[in-house]
Amino acid sequence: MPRLSGKIALITGGGTGIGRACALAFAREGAKVAVAGRRKEPLEAVAREIEAFGANALVVECDVVNRTAVQGGIAAVVRHFAGLDILVNNAGAIVVGSVEETSDEDWSRVIETNLTGTFLVSRAAIPALRQSGGGSIVNIGSYLGIAGRRQRAAYCAAKAGVAGLTRAMALDHAPDKIRVNCICPAMIETEMATQSLSKAPDPEVARKQRIAEIPLGRLGKPEDVAFMAVYLASDESSWVTGVSLPLDGGQTAY
């Protein structure tokens, strides 16, 4: 039997990269999947991929920092699928720079998208998860939430906040049988990573330097994150909550 058979999942930032990989993996494991994001076109493309192999999909246009849109999005999922069992908080943003180099606007954007968005979507989803008898929240953090890196001041702060929020929610909602965990990837080959590398003087040299930092000798793939997300969403991890798991090819082992 598929590992997520009969489950209903919502994935934010579901149109590209890690979100898309999670959506497809969840659907293959038997889940009904709602993909949420600001851009309708990539969401619809993912929904078509899901439906092509006979699974159920729903597109939810939603900006995770818009409280009204978040509440409406959760309501739409519950109304369409008659419940909610799994939430993947994947929507994110990054800016390169030290504290001195980070503008107020960039700081606010990175904190709001990564941390406040996770808070808002989780807060809106918890009543539906409780109504379903419990469930799983999987936050997509970063290894930079548990380690530092030059030129990533706002991003490190935001992802460290996600790790802390994960622990707090896990304790608060354990009595509701809602598990909350955080995946902390190193650099994953996504559109956001490509954009970050493109700002280096020589993007190809920067890419090779990043790979050289990873003991397993490669960047991560979106599917690497999706495999772990499936585990944390499934009953196989029924005694796992409140943890931030590095997924980094060994980078934080130094």
Could you give the CA distance from residue 23 to residue 12 in angstroms, rounded to a whole number? 10
Please give the structure tokens belonging to residue 42.
Answer: 């990539």
Could you give the CA distance from residue 225 to residue 186 in angstroms, rounded to a whole number? 10
Q: In this structure, is residue 250 part of a structural domain?
A: no
Are residue 134 and residue 214 in the same domain, yes or no?
Answer: no
Q: Mapping DSSP to helix (H, G, I), strand (E, B) and coil, where does residue 15 land?
A: coil
Between the alpha carbon of residue 249 and those of residues 57, 124, 188, 231, the distances in Å are 32, 34, 11, 18
Q: What tens digit of pLDDT does each residue of 79-110 get?
A: 999 999 999 999 999 998 999 999 999 999 99
Q: In this structure, is residue 180 part of a structural domain?
A: yes
Q: Which one from 143, 155, 231, 254 is the annotated catalytic residue?
A: 155
Question: What is the pTM for the complete model shown?
Answer: 0.96
Q: What tens digit of pLDDT does each residue of 234-252 get?
A: 999 999 999 999 999 999 9
Of 147, 139, 128, 133, give the one whose Cα is nearest residue 169: 139
Domain containing residue 196: 191-219
**CA triplet 206, 92, 246: central angle to 5 degrees?**
70
Q: In the annotation, is 155 catalytic?
A: yes
Could you give the CA distance from residue 190 to residue 173 in angstroms, rounded to a whole number? 32
Q: In this structure, is residue 43 part of a structural domain?
A: yes
Are residue 117 and residue 200 in the same domain, yes or no?
Answer: no
Q: What tens digit of pLDDT does each residue of 144-201 get?
A: 999 999 989 999 999 999 999 999 999 999 999 999 999 999 999 988 887 778 778 8
Q: Which residue's entry shows tokens 């904190």?
A: 111
Are residue 137 and residue 122 in the same domain, yes or no?
Answer: yes
Are residue 71 and residue 164 in the same domain, yes or no?
Answer: yes
